[in-house]
Amino acid sequence: MLYRSGVSALHRTGPLTKLALVLLAATMLPIWPAPVLLAAAGLALAAGALCRIGWAMARRLAMLLVPVGLALFVVHGFMLENGPARPLGPLDYYPQGLARALTYFARIALLLTVSLLMVMTTRVNDLARALDQKGLPPAAAYLLTAPLNLVDGIADEAAAIRDSLQVRGLAARSGLRARVRLLGAMLMPLVRGMISEAGTRAEALEARGFRALPHRSLLDPLTETPAEVRLRMGLLLASGAQLLVLAL
């Protein structure tokens, strides 16, 4: 999980407000030049540092951005013909290609930084609660939270099936063909069992009154200050304005 616990202002901000911030960043991409996008990404990283997730964010960003950045500058700067070439030692490079690579890099950097800022300060459960609170049907919250509860169970069950198959002679260190056989032998009972269980799980949910009403009321609703609601509206309006500029 990318979430880092904390008590910062951003941790306390509602998930929907942070989603509006991601939307604002996404609508900036086609409009603003690379320096503006990079400056905005820098601001987002600084906000992360203020929320005490700066190092974790920077590490994650480096992991994601360094390989993409290298690939972008090599492919666009040196390999794809883009305007007139200039010599750089034994190689030729394309200044226009490098400028294009910088634009792509800035777009990715901004979107990743702002998305990470949201993801690292928001629990999936809180997002589900916020959606519930806004009147989305219980099914939406279920689809966001149930898979996370199921993943560990699937991994444990797969490990148990693997162990039992290995006891019977199927080894993961064998050749490719044997490993493909092992994969099939592990997957078939695991997945068939889960499909068969779907009916039982659904009955258990219905027995608890899941979806008995179109909307659920929350025992511990997320609280929002009027300032936060205004901030979210502002972010949405700014996103709308940028889309309008793009359309014109």
Q: Between residues 51 and 72, which has the closer beta carbon with respect to other proteins?
A: 72
Question: Considering beta carbons, is residue 197 or 230 the nearer one to other proteins?
Answer: 197
The distance of closest approach from Cβ of residue 67 to other proteins in the complex, given in angstroms and rounded to an integer, is 3
Rounded to the nearest 5 percent, the helix, strand and coil shares of the chain are 75, 0, 25
Considering beta carbons, is residue 39 or 188 the nearer one to other proteins?
Answer: 188
- Cβ neighbours of 137 (radius 10 Å): 14
CB of 220 to other proteins, least distance (A): 21
Our CB check for other proteins shows the closer of 39 and 163 to be 163
**CA dihedral in degrees (217, 124, 190, 168; nearest 10)?**
-140
Query: C-alpha distances in angstroms, 29 versus 26, 38, 97, 105, 240?
Result: 6, 11, 18, 11, 13
Q: Do 45 and 58 form a contact (C-beta atoms < 8 A)?
A: yes
Query: Residue 11: helix, strand or coil by DSSP?
Result: helix
Closest CB 238 distance from other proteins, rounded Å: 20
**Main-chain phi, psi angles of 82, to 5 degrees:** -140, 90
Q: How far is the CB of 71 from other proteins (least distance, A)?
A: 4
Beta carbon nearer to other proteins, 120 or 235: 120
CB of 193 to other proteins, least distance (A): 10
User: In degrees rounded to 5, what are phi and psi of residue 92?
Assistant: -110, 140
